[in-house]
Structure 1
Amino acid sequence: MTAFPVFDGHNDLVLRLLRGDVSADGVAKGLHDGHIDAPRAQKGGFGGGMFAIFVPSPDDKDLRHDEMKHPPYDIPLPAPVDEAMAADWTGRGFDALEALEAAGAVQLCRSVAEIETALPGPRMAAVAHIEGAEGVDREFARLHDWHARGLRSLGPVWSRPTVWGHGVPFRYPSDPDIGPGLTEAGRALIRECNRLKIMVDLSHLNAAGMEDVAAISDAPLVATHSNAWAVCPHARNLTDRQLDMIRDSDGMVGINFASAFLRPDGRMDAEFGLDIMLRHFDHLVQRLGEDRVGLGSDFDGALVPAGIGDCAGLPNLIEALRSHGVDDGLMARITHGNWMRVLRKTWGEL
């Protein structure tokens, strides 16, 4: 493990397990051909992060990626997902996380103290996150059950509409001011997450929804895997107004490695220099301050820059940041310290 272990805001390894692309033992032994497994995590300094449980739509994600190679684009959002199916899939997502722990690949963490103990390795520190709350019932019984199993972070939507609110489409060029915000049920969900000290992730929420969360929530505003709209005008990215709201709440943003959300031309194409990531970094630091920027790779769920490739390539990003003038103190904050700060504040561990 490197001197700057990375705590990452978002990855989709659990989805790969649930789809049968890899087993928990395969992740532990380094038999995964995606972005994350235990040996590469040790090599690259990937100390862990938010492990997302995401319910996929029946559409073809590869086709969506193909369409995003040719901007401009406006890809229709999938239909809502059935609650019973989503609940079953989400429950199996927790099973997958527990299987990863049993295989020795991760250590499930429910507090900042547990993360900091696990972060140097050899197991990845894993925090359970739900990306899109379709499986949560309106009485919140499942939310409480999953919280007991380790749920500590939740995004009310993944782009497609839910009973809780509305997300942003995969549209370029576009801003995120698209459609209505949270429903009454969504407002109740935010309040219940606040009560349980579950972090609310804004990454896929539209502009009106983010305004609603800001008006309701008593916790820092956090986007676990989003970028600067001023650099790449994609609907998935955050405008300066949104960044200022996050700053004013003492929240943070994890830089998303997805090529289409980094490149100013919005193309889903991995062949570009890490200088583009540094442009997002500079803008986020300018608007948010040095204590409110981290990493949110979207490993195993995105096409990441060829200069990084997978979690073993994180030292290339560290070196690019160092060459850009980032000193040891700021490097520690970007790679993990800022996440520890905002999680400690959100989870009531101050």
Structure 2
Amino acid sequence: MSQPESPPMPIPFFDGHNDFLLRLMKSPAPREETWLGTSAGHMDLRRMKQAGFAGGLFAIFVPPVPDGSPPPDFKTLMAEPPYALPLPPEMDHATAQPTALEMAGLLHWMVRAAPDDFALCRSAHEIDAAMESDRIAGVMHMEGAEAIGPDLDALYLFHDMGLRSLGPVWSRPTIFGHGVPMAFPGTPDTGPGLTDRGRELIRLCNELNILIDLSHMNEAGFDDVARLSKAPLVATHSNAHALCASPRNLTDRQLHAIRDTGGMVGFNYATFYINADGRADAGTPWEMMLRHIDHLIETLGEDHVGLGSDFDGCVLPDLIGDVTGVQGLLGAMSADGYDDALIAKLARDNWQACLARTIG
């Protein structure tokens, strides 16, 4: 009797953005359950290992401070375009820092809770070494720089803790610049660019080899970073505006600027940045996802596109569902004619090369 075939090994992949730290911080379950794999959400250690998740950028994101009124139901509002959602006001660093420090601490705790399976990495060499030893390579990212005060001193502190990637803005404004609104339809041309402090922040990020994430930044701010920064331009989790007219997506002009610096774009799985009508629709098919990936490859080149899931921070297509569904996306690429070498680039190789060029 012949032996049954073993299931194929998952293709290892690197993820440009997730919001697991926010879920870990807010979860009512014990954090061991949330991290080690017995609670809901898009990802945890057990499923990441099962899925082939080789590494990723783990976002510190400080959510809006409750003001006593019910928060907007973003997912419901974004299910029925057109929409223009209210955004919270600017948050000062004294308000943001305690939460940001708590989340940074949680990322360090994740290493202590699973030292044989997870590593906090501060360089491309450490990322490669973690992957070679079958440990997930975690990189500390910050989505919105509210926790960095006007004197920028806190950036040194977070850098010492492991921060290697920073988005100066989320969708709300900061003292550094302006994010795009949660609206559809719209363009990223929504207001002024970087402030004087924002320009100082970009220079210091270059000095410290901190990747500057252009996701969420408006067009004028994007252009300011492109003029100032000496590093490749990177958008960790954004899609093509030509296919979905969300202000969060990148125009072809912006994609060309990223290409010309040897930068990178991570394809975002959020359905409201994929569907042509801007709808948050869990029924989004593979075809719509592959259209964006095809467009990014055509506009940027195959060496400058990767994955940027937005896990635990968005409405995913049911076809993906959670981190274990990424192999389905890679399988859809194969079925659409992508060869093994290209899939390896999109899944992991391009991110490894980009991080070597940015964080060193």
- Settle same-fold status: TM greater than 0.5: yes
User: C-alpha separation between the residues in 1 aligned to 2:132 and 2:317?
Assistant: 25
User: C-alpha separation between the residues in 1 aligned to 2:128 and 2:274?
Assistant: 29
In structure 2, which of residues 11, 14, 37 is the aligned counterpart of residue 30 of structure 1? 37
User: C-alpha separation between the residues in 1 aligned to 2:51 and 2:72?
Assistant: 27
User: C-alpha separation between the residues in 1 aligned to 2:126 and 2:159?
Assistant: 16
Aligned residues: 348
TM-score by length of 2: 0.93
Question: What is aligned with 1:335?
Answer: 347
Question: What is aligned with 2:224?
Answer: 212
Question: What is aligned with 1:58?
Answer: 65
In structure 2, which of residues 87, 95, 99 is the aligned counterpart of residue 89 of structure 1? 99
User: C-alpha separation between the residues in 2 aligned to 1:277 and 1:88?
Assistant: 37
User: C-alpha separation between the residues in 1 aligned to 2:308 and 2:324?
Assistant: 15
The Cα of 1:24 is off from its aligned counterpart by: 3.9
The Cα of 1:118 is off from its aligned counterpart by: 2.1
Question: What is aligned with 1:281?
Answer: 293
Question: Are the counterparts in 2 of residues 5 and 120 from structure 1 also a CA contact under 8 Å?
Answer: no
Q: Tell me which structure has the larger Cα radius of gyration.
A: 2
Q: CA RMSD in A?
A: 1.5
Matched AA of 1:187:
R
Q: Would the alpha carbon gap of residues 119 and 239 (structure 1) be closer, same or farther in structure 2, given more than 3 Å must change?
A: same
Matches within 5 A, 1:305-344: 305-344=317-356
Question: What is aligned with 1:11?
Answer: 18
User: C-alpha separation between the residues in 1 aligned to 2:71 and 2:249?
Assistant: 19
In structure 2, which of residues 180, 201, 205 is the aligned counterpart of residue 193 of structure 1? 205
Gaps of 5+ in 2: 1-7
In structure 2, which of residues 110, 114, 139 is the aligned counterpart of residue 100 of structure 1? 110
Gaps of 5+ in 1: none
* 2:86 is the counterpart of 1:79: no
Q: Would the alpha carbon gap of residues 216 and 21 (structure 1) be closer, same or farther in structure 2, given more than 3 Å must change?
A: farther
Matched AA of 1:98:
H
Q: Would the alpha carbon gap of residues 315 and 103 (structure 1) be closer, same or farther in structure 2, given more than 3 Å must change?
A: same
User: C-alpha separation between the residues in 1 aligned to 2:284 and 2:198?
Assistant: 38
Matches within 5 A, 1:91-240: 91-104=101-114, 106-119=118-131, 122-240=134-252
Question: What is aligned with 1:45?
Answer: 52
Q: Would the alpha carbon gap of residues 10 and 61 (structure 1) be closer, same or farther in structure 2, given more than 3 Å must change?
A: farther
User: C-alpha separation between the residues in 2 aligned to 1:235 and 1:29?
Assistant: 36
Matched AA of 1:338:
N
User: C-alpha separation between the residues in 1 aligned to 2:71 and 2:48?
Assistant: 25
The Cα of 1:169 is off from its aligned counterpart by: 0.5
- SS in structure 1 at match of 2:148: coil
The Cα of 1:21 is off from its aligned counterpart by: 4.2
Identity of aligned residues (%): 49
The Cα of 1:225 is off from its aligned counterpart by: 0.2
Question: What is aligned with 1:247?
Answer: 259
Matched AA of 2:56:
G
Deviations, residues 138-161 of structure 1 (Å, cap 9, x unaligned)? 222211011011000000000101
User: C-alpha separation between the residues in 2 aligned to 1:134 and 1:320?
Assistant: 38
Question: Are the counterparts in 2 of residues 154 and 199 from structure 1 also a CA contact under 8 Å?
Answer: yes
Matched AA of 1:208:
A
- SS in structure 2 at match of 1:118: helix
* 2:27 is the counterpart of 1:20: yes
The Cα of 1:323 is off from its aligned counterpart by: 0.7
Q: Would the alpha carbon gap of residues 103 and 322 (structure 1) be closer, same or farther in structure 2, given more than 3 Å must change?
A: same
User: C-alpha separation between the residues in 2 aligned to 1:164 and 1:247?
Assistant: 25
Deviations, residues 250-272 of structure 1 (Å, cap 9, x unaligned)? 10100000010011110111112
User: C-alpha separation between the residues in 2 aligned to 1:82 and 1:106?
Assistant: 32
Question: Are the counterparts in 2 of residues 41 and 311 from structure 1 also a CA contact under 8 Å?
Answer: yes
The Cα of 1:58 is off from its aligned counterpart by: 3.3
User: C-alpha separation between the residues in 2 aligned to 1:121 and 1:160?
Assistant: 39
TM-score by length of 1: 0.96
Which stretch shifts more, 103-112 or 202-211?
103-112
Question: Are the counterparts in 2 of residues 5 and 119 from structure 1 also a CA contact under 8 Å?
Answer: no
- SS in structure 1 at match of 2:27: coil
Matched AA of 1:16:
R
The Cα of 1:275 is off from its aligned counterpart by: 1.0
Which stretch shifts more, 95-104 or 205-214?
95-104
Q: Would the alpha carbon gap of residues 142 and 23 (structure 1) be closer, same or farther in structure 2, given more than 3 Å must change?
A: farther
